[in-house]
């Protein structure tokens, strides 16, 4: 927001959960006052009943970037969904939609089988893709399995046909926030406590009351399940908070690992203030030794 205010920019969302209108509090979306202060785009515009995807977001981002250019505004893309940021700066493979039954089959196996077992299955069916993925990364392993099952082609083959990126990485300032882990752990706990005081339980209960499929992305947002269980009397408050905070910390750890490997040439900033300085200076050397 500071960058947008100082440089005439628009804040464009790159967080897969902040697209859902049902989840302002639990996804820490910008407040109505924030959105009124500086232009924002792609926040809270998707209904929770929709299985939003990286391809859908990329199409929306193309429009948001075009609108920013036409308005003479600087695009400030912010979010923690690595696949969105990778698609934006590296291009997206033209993988066709996977049939719903195939997707459901592999997601069910992800919930019931160890990731090492699934990786062994991938190694049998698609050794090239298995060699790229860690057995401890069940989401990407399952994605590779559902693609080869649903399309008959390896995800590696599809990725070889990757389209040109919307944003030339060499022409963009690319920054990863890397706060010290103790600070991050404490911040996650304090932020969730603030969410609890700001209506997070009511938000989770309202979403659960819609009776949507538990396989939808919005239903898997961190905090939804434990807080819905608390609202229904199936879990006490302390246990619900502990579960949500633990899930948040685990997700932050996975993000850190993913960004370290995938975005190794992006600049690093320990906090938002440092990121603002780097962005303002254009980060002359974005590669961190």
Got the DSSP string for 232-247?
TTSS-HHHHHHHHHHH
Per-residue pLDDT averaged across 255-260, rounded? 90
Per-residue pLDDT averaged across 85-103, rounded? 90
The count of C-alpha atoms lying within 13 angstroms of the C-alpha of 69, restricted to the half-sphere facing its C-beta, is: 8
Tell me what pLDDT residue 215 has. 82
Task: Assign domain 100-159 to a CATH class.
Answer: mainly alpha
Lowest mean pLDDT among 68-72, 117-121, 138-142: 138-142
0.85 surpassed by pTM: no
Per-residue pLDDT averaged across 174-203, rounded? 96
Strand residue runs (E) in 192-278: 267-269
Task: Report whether pLDDT(285) > 60.
Answer: no
Name the average pLDDT for the chain: 92
Greater confidence (258 vs 202) lies with 202
Task: Report whether pLDDT(286) > 70.
Answer: no
Q: Where are the domains of the chain?
A: 2-92+164-281, 100-159
Are the CB atoms for 74 and 9 separated by under 8 Å? yes
Task: Report whether pLDDT(238) > 90.
Answer: yes
Q: Which of 52, 8, 23 is nearest to 198 (CA)?
A: 23
Residue 235 Cα to chain centre, angstroms: 27
Per-residue pLDDT averaged across 231-235, rounded? 96
CATH code assigned to 2-92+164-281: 3.40.50.300
Are the CB atoms for 95 and 155 separated by under 8 Å? yes
Q: How far is the C-alpha of 174 from the C-alpha of 246, rounded, in Å?
A: 29
Task: Report whether pLDDT(289) > 80.
Answer: no
């Amino acid at each position: 927001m500071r960058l947008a205010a100082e440089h005439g920019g628009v804040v464009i969302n790159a967080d897969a959960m902040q697209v859902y209108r049902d989840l302002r509090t639990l996804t820490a979306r910008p407040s109505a006052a924030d959105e009124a202060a500086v232009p924002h785009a792609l926040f809270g515009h998707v209904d929770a009943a929709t299985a939003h995807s990286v391809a859908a977001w990329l199409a929306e981002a193309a429009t948001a970037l075009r609108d920013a250019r036409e308005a003479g505004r600087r695009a400030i893309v912010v979010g923690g969904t690595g696949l969105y940021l990778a698609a934006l700066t590296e291009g997206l493979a033209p993988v066709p939609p996977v049939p719903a039954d195939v997707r459901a089959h592999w997601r069910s196996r992800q919930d019931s089988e160890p990731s090492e077992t699934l990786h062994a299955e991938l190694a049998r069916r698609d050794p090239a893709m298995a060699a790229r993925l860690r057995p401890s990364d069940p989401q990407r392993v399952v994605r590779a399995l559902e693609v080869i099952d649903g399309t008959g082609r390896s995800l590696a083959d599809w990725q070889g046909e990757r389209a040109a990126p919307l944003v030339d990485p060499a022409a963009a300032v690319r920054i990863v926030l890397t706060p010290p882990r103790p600070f991050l752990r404490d911040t996650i706990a304090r932020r969730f406590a603030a969410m609890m005081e700001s209506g997070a339980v009511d938000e989770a209960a309202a979403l659960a009351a819609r009776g949507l499929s538990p396989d939808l992305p919005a239903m898997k947002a961190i905090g939804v399940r434990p807080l819905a269980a608390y609202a229904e009397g199936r879990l006490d408050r302390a246990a619900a908070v502990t579960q949500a905070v633990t899930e948040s910390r685990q997700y932050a750890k996975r993000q850190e690992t993913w960004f370290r490997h995938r975005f190794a040439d992006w600049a690093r900033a320990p906090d938002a203030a440092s990121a603002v300085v780097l962005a303002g200076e254009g980060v002359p050397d974005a590669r961190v030794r």
